[in-house]
Amino acid sequence: MSENATDPAPVEPVRASDAESAGPPAPADGPATRPGPRGPVPSGAPALRPPGAVPAGFRWYPRLTRVTDASVVGGVCAGLSEHLGVKVTHVRLAMVLFATLSGAGVVLYSALWVLLPSAPARADAPPVDPRERRHGKALVAVAMVGAVLSFMLTTATGLNVIVPVLVVALGAGLVWQQYDRGGKVSPRSAFDWARVTAGATLVVVGLAVVVLGQVEFAALRSSLLAVVATLVGVGLLSVPVGLRLWHSLEEERAARIREAERSDIASHLHDSVLQTLALIQKRSDDPAQVARLARRQERELRQWLFGAGSRMSSGATTVAGAVEVMVGDLEDAYGLRIDQVVVGGDGAVGDTEEAVLGAVREALVNVAKHAGVDTADVFVENDGRVLSAFVRDRGAGFDPDAISADRHGLAQSIRHRVESRGGTVTVRSTLGRGTEIGIEMPLEGE
């Protein structure tokens, strides 16, 4: 070979165990898969690969984690199965065999449960077969019985010591399972609370039995008094520190809340008030448009400050929300300033309410067109039996008896709409002093 020949890229050595466990190469139509506790798992390499060529058939081991959504106790065997690429039943049988060696399998399982992180749940994971879960529970029972018997035979320990230890382990396992699967610090249902309470009770009872079995009852009273005195002393010393820490946390929480409120207020003012002021500056040569923009911004700001925005967010599903929407549309369309008062407006909008609100809308349109004023008042009240509405203005006024026959606004849009549903309409108007239209509608079912 000449000196100028290029040396081939170095190839990393492959372990025999890796090559044997890799299996056949991936077919052309997709990656190779291997069995796992949550269904087929792709055996491809991770995103970050070490430099160098990877031989065909080489398989990277996935990260060793606990698979809690396919677990019987803590997900350790399911995680080992997915990591090693073997059936989960084989891993569980190996754990049962280790458990019969004076409980070594139990210690190994507990250590892995504490040290291994929990794998995130997979949305596409198939559900676990109930028969496989039942087989796993049976193997857990066999492992516990084998561990107890082998430990008793090898250490000559009686049941008076082993039973309390098993009770403590069972209680700790219940609590660990809850916080493993719940994902939250606090339980979320009555069953979760029962599980945590039962686990804590078993731990306390087991420890109490172990301790009381080693204590002479004659000296128990003095020991309890010493413990109580110690606890009282620790409490007296820690109360000032605890109170100061509590006040510090409360102040920090209040500061975060104030900062969030300031941020919300600043965002709202920027998106609404400042933008409207910029528009007013551009339209300063049009007084009518400036007044309309200012009135709309006043209405929006009032809704935001006094909570009306919560009603507006629901649209016209309530009487109060429907009045707000109607007043906003009329103010924007006609430039009329409308001051509204709504009492008992939390009820839903039905056919009866729609008829009354439609008549109110038509009365306000008449004010905008014929009264010659730029303000009007609206009052709506729902007392549970009658829905009442009043529209007042201080405009030109008119004579109801002198209205020509070709004018259908008052007769059709207001009177007929209300009276056809059993309501009454009262019109009081004085030339030069304004008009008041009163509407009373009995609610359906009353």
- pLDDT tens-place string over residues 406-423: 565 677 778 888 888 889
On the question of pLDDT at 22 being above 60, the answer is: no
Q: How many helices (H) and strands (E) in the chain?
A: 14, 7
On the question of pLDDT at 18 being above 50, the answer is: no
On the question of pLDDT at 206 being above 80, the answer is: no
Please report where in the chains the tokens 């204590």 appear, as a residue. Answer: 215
> What mean pLDDT comes out for the span 136-153?
84
What gap in Å lies between CA 380 and CA 391, rounded to an integer? 9
Neighbours of 83 (CB within 10 A): 18
Would you call 426 helix, strand, or coil by DSSP?
strand
Predicted model pTM: 0.38
> What mean pLDDT comes out for the span 387-409?
80
> What mean pLDDT comes out for the span 277-304?
77
On the question of pLDDT at 391 being above 90, the answer is: yes
Please report where in the chains the tokens 């400042």 appear, as a residue. Answer: 274
> What mean pLDDT comes out for the span 277-288?
80
Percent of the chain's residues with pLDDT above 90: 8
Q: What is the pLDDT of residue 305?
A: 72
Query: For residues 286 and 279, is the Cβ–Cβ distance under 8 A?
Result: no
Nearest to 82 by CA among 119, 48, 57, 114: 119
Contacts of 409-412 with C-beta under 8 Å, sequence gap 24+, read 409/362, 409/365, 409/366, 410/366
Q: What is the pLDDT of residue 416?
A: 84
CA 24 to chain centre: 46
Structure letter (DSSP) for residue 66? B
Nearby residues of 198 by Cβ (< 8 Å), 6 or more positions away = 171, 174
Residue 26 Cα distances to 19, 30, 39, 43, angstroms? 14, 7, 18, 9
Q: What is the pLDDT of residue 75?
A: 84
Structure letter (DSSP) for residue 73? S
> What mean pLDDT comes out for the span 217-237?
73
CA 254 to chain centre: 23
